[in-house]
Amino acid sequence: MFPYIIVGLFLGSCHCSKEGGVILGRPELFGPSLALVTDVADFYCLLLIYPENQTILLELYKEGNRNKLLGFYSSLDGQVASFPVVIRTFHEGNLECVARAQNNSHVEPSVSNTHYLKVVEPVAGAKVTIESGAEEFFEGRSLELRCTLTAGNHVSYKWLVNGKAVIQSPLHNVAQDQLFIYRTTSADSGVYMCVATNRYNTTRVFTSDSPEVKITVKDTVSDPDISFKVLKENCNYFALVTCQSTRGTLPVSFSLYNRTELAFNTTVEARKANFKVPLVLDKYLGWLQCRANNGDQVAHSRRLPLQIVRVGGPVMMHYDYEIGQNYAVIGLRFYCKATKGSHPRYRWFLNQTLLQGRGNFYHMVNQPPDQSILLLSVGSSSAGTYHCEVSDIFDNTTAISSQKQYIDKKVLNRLPVSVVAVVFGCFTLLVVLVSGCCFVGLFFRRRDCGEESLVSQETEKFAAYEDSLNLHLQAMSGYHEDGDVVRSARCDELDWVRANTVTRKSMKCESSGIT
């Protein structure tokens, strides 16, 4: 009490008088700034200068609420007013002291400066409530938890899952008494609890742990895969159909449909189910589809045709090879394929010995039903005769064999007979064509020479004929004819002889193909 009074003496204010009334000085309010609920706290109000012969009423209120009196005291001659208060949470806030003359309405009341009081209520009754709904749900939905209290203020919160603090992330948001998880997955399943804490000074810490709440986030079942294998039992054939999902909370209900008709269904504590379907070989029996459901939504498999075709021949086998740096064959790939068959089993043989999977110089790659590939490294150990056999995987009573092929490193690196034959044939054809061209050229050259000799003979005959004609004309010169007429006749005869000679030569050239 004494410290408050001493401070009040320094901060006291005077009063002033006016006509018609008296104005009181400002009272001073003192007391603790922090209090615990249910504790009794003492507040003091001091008015240093009083009007003469006036009893002053000092009252304690919460600022802004003059309807609820927290304490009062009648003071005369500067007595300090004391207000013992049993602390409640509503006391927290700004408190003020009001001074007024008790029996004189002409004295105007005055109000102290505010004094802030912080009230601490120990936490109690922490509990986790699920704001988003059920404790068990499927992934992808949001989870909202809230930590509620029966008592407590100025509280800090901590969220735990499976005994460890929840880590803040873009999908995990911790906001005081609330926890939000967006797009949950099964990894968010676990036991959740909240821890509420508040403090009084630095010496007393109050904590309340909520009961644990189990949250289960279930995985939606994934689209199942569908497959089947063929079984033979007492001359009857069956398809053992397998429906399998890779994820999904158990149990899972599987259904098998043929087109749109339900054939089988079952619920299992597993992600796989088998169904046994009767078969008729070499006959189309429809399309199969698996459906899976574990309570959220139905997942569908791809559609699979149900048709079993037996293996049929012929079985074709061929190979290609790899060339090394020295252009020698270093590796072979044998290919084996049956003409038909939906479920073939391929087997490879070397010198009538069955090859298994993988060896020192070979490796088998099966790609049913398309084909089987045998990879070889060419060497002394891989030499021999190879062939493949194909049978039904569900019935090996009948096997169809391919042709046999002998493989040897020297044989592979030797030129094939067909290549040698083609090269030799091309060379021979080239020789024949060159020889023919030479013969034709020689033939036509000789023929041209013969024609030139014939023309020379004709020219000589024409010269002899011309000489005889000149003699004949000289003998007839005794007649008295006109010289121009004789000369004209001579020229006509000469032209006729030349024309005949050229015509005969042209006809011979045309008959021989020479222009």
Q: Where are the domains of the chain?
A: 2-120, 127-218, 225-307, 312-413, 418-474+485-512
Which class does domain 2-120 fall in? mainly beta
| Contact (CB, 8 A) for 317 and 387 | yes
The domain defined by 225-307 carries CATH number 3.40.1390.10 = no
- What is the C-alpha R_g of the chain? 62
User: Could you read off the pLDDT of 267-295 as tens digits, one per residue?
Assistant: 999 999 999 999 999 999 999 999 999 99
Rounded to 10°, the helix 483-512/417-475 angle is 170
pLDDT of residue 429: 87
> DSSP E strands: which ranges in 394-441?
395-401, 405-407
56 pLDDT higher than 60? yes
User: Could you read off the pLDDT of 289-318 as tens digits, one per residue?
Assistant: 999 999 989 999 999 999 999 999 899 999
6 pLDDT higher than 50? no
pLDDT of residue 505: 44
Instruction: Please indicate, yes or no, whether the overall pTM of this predicted structure exceeds 0.85.
Output: no
How confident is residue 330, by pLDDT bands cut at 50, 70 and 90?
confident
pLDDT of residue 491: 43
Cα 314 from Cα 186, distance rounded (Å): 55
The domain defined by 312-413 carries CATH number 2.60.40.10 = yes
Q: Quick one: average pLDDT of 59-68?
A: 92
| Contact (CB, 8 A) for 376 and 347 | no
Using alpha carbons, select from 74, 58, 53 the residue that is nearest to residue 26: 58
| Contact (CB, 8 A) for 108 and 24 | yes
* Fold category of 127-218 in CATH: Immunoglobulin-like (2.60.40)
Q: Considering the chain, what is the average pLDDT of its residues? A: 83
Topology agreement, domain 225-307 and domain 312-413: yes
Question: DSSP class of residue 250?
Answer: S
pLDDT of residue 52: 72
Lowest-confidence region among 7-11, 152-156, 273-277, 365-369: 7-11
User: Could you read off the pLDDT of 380-434 as tens digits, one per residue?
Assistant: 888 999 999 999 998 878 899 999 999 887 777 665 566 567 777 888 888 888 8
